[in-house]
Structure 1
């Protein structure tokens, strides 16, 4: 019985070592399942503090099984701690960066698969998570064994905001010359916008950055009545695209 246990442990360790020897490409699927990949990582790096005897943080990982909807919260916590390099603790042997990244990607991949029809998993898409990326990976030499997808490859999509698309479309369909005072009726850039007989400046064109209307006077309501709310999104504007954070109102 003991010999069988040793053989199983050896195969588990061999699977983990084999993964470590492979080239790691961020964004690519991680091969392996809980039994031949994740279990070995937990045994090597987590069981010292989270087994039947130690139980730090009241967390026992010995009985943790493959990712499913019932233990998704536990796996999400493991993902966060490993990704942020909080675990293993600083006084313990540290995980190689490639092993850490690969294990983190595996958890994300499994959570996305399991939670697909149960609300999904988008925590890793939060742009604020970018503040926690290891600076050595961003600005230093990449560790041996990491191979990046070539920049601007077909597998990568460079995104801009819907607002930027509107701006670029306007540039394409509206060819306007510089304002010529001798031809004030010609549509150009820099035209003076006249006011009405009451000295008011009215807007009669659409805008794409009105999020909502706040209360105001009748004059205020009249001034904005012809400005539709289009392409609004609940975030700061910039050269970024996070569709998971978009909201759509009734006007849209």
Structure 2
């Protein structure tokens, strides 16, 4: 069996209980060394074979999985955050399907959740924003034409951008072109939940300037929208004494 496991956003104690148990039981671990906290590997068995996929091709990763399956070893494929976001897991799963090798997924805490925690932020404030767009800038790898940042920006919803820290000047232009005002609140969160975590509040037009001032060039999330500064919002209906729910009768 191969378990695709979300390592969480960085802190060693933010992996799930299930993910931790799989790591403790694993005979083979293939981890995304460019982003996963290596401290998580301390819980593996002494006999566990550990591979850093940052130095491997897809074919090499699959070869390790196939060999482990032939030897009836339990494998953990350890991805950063939650594997379903920018984890490149589908191509691995499709190959395993072709070979008839069993696998499953263990979700993890995504770094976009860790970034919100760093800022004590709620992404969905009533009457401010009820949607979160998770996307990235187009760099060396393209994005579908209909998913350009400018197109998403036209909604003025909360936006969280992965893999875009090295493209902030272009990002600013795309956000403004799409409809965000230059003074729209924004934030840069570097290595959310790691010991070296840093977070900075700025605006759409000062994203590049802020990152440069603090020497941030990678491993950061960008958050855009009025929720960043806890913009004036409406009280939640769920806890409004006048609002009737399945569990209590509202009183006027």
TM bucket, shorter chain: under 0.3
Higher relative contact order (CA 8 A, sep 6+): 2
TM-score by length of 1: 0.24
Higher strand content, 1 or 2:
2
Is the radius of gyration larger for structure 1 or structure 2? 1
TM-score by length of 2: 0.24
